[in-house]
Amino acid sequence: MVVAVRCTQTSIGQQSNLRMFPTVRVSFSGPLRQVTPADRYVVLLDVVPVDNRRYRYAYHRSAWLVAGKADPPPPARLYAHPDTPVGADALRKQVISFEKVKLTNNEMDKNGQVSQIIAQQPNVWTGS
């Protein structure tokens, strides 16, 4: 089973190895499909472009402005939360926080992948 959660925040990366702010935090409730009590769940995060535009920050306006078309997005990368896999009961009892995830625009880095100066959407996935 795979469940997708679309978060409402966007992040804009400007430098390499940035931490995402605000932090993505999710909690799970309700029934989780569990075939056996030993089933365990992995919680994953990816970051995808919101649109195909590049942005620049206008300090005199204190606003982000469209600055042209964005480069093609890099291949999607999934970041597995370090406290998973966990059982269904443990997953419902805790808040999963991605506060330690680091984002980079270095395509060789195996961590979270973002492109510079584009609006991006974090997504949270879980599967057993």
Predicted TM-score (pTM) of the model is 0.69
* 2-115: CATH superfamily: Transcription factor, T-box (2.60.40.820)
Encode pLDDT of 1-42 as tens digits: 334 444 444 444 444 445 566 778 888 887 777 667 778 888
- For residue 70, give the amino acid letter: A
What is the bridge-based pairing of β-strands 18-19 and 25-27? unpaired
Find the Cα–Cα–Cα–Cα dihedral 7, 13, 16, 22, rounded to 10°: -50
Which tens digits make up the pLDDT trace of 85-107?
988 888 888 888 888 777 666 66
Domain boundaries, the chain: 2-115
CA 48 to chain centre: 8
Mean pLDDT across 55-80? 84
N- to C-terminal Cα separation, the chain: 6
At residue 19, the 3 state secondary structure works out as strand
Contact 49, 73 (CB under 8 A): yes
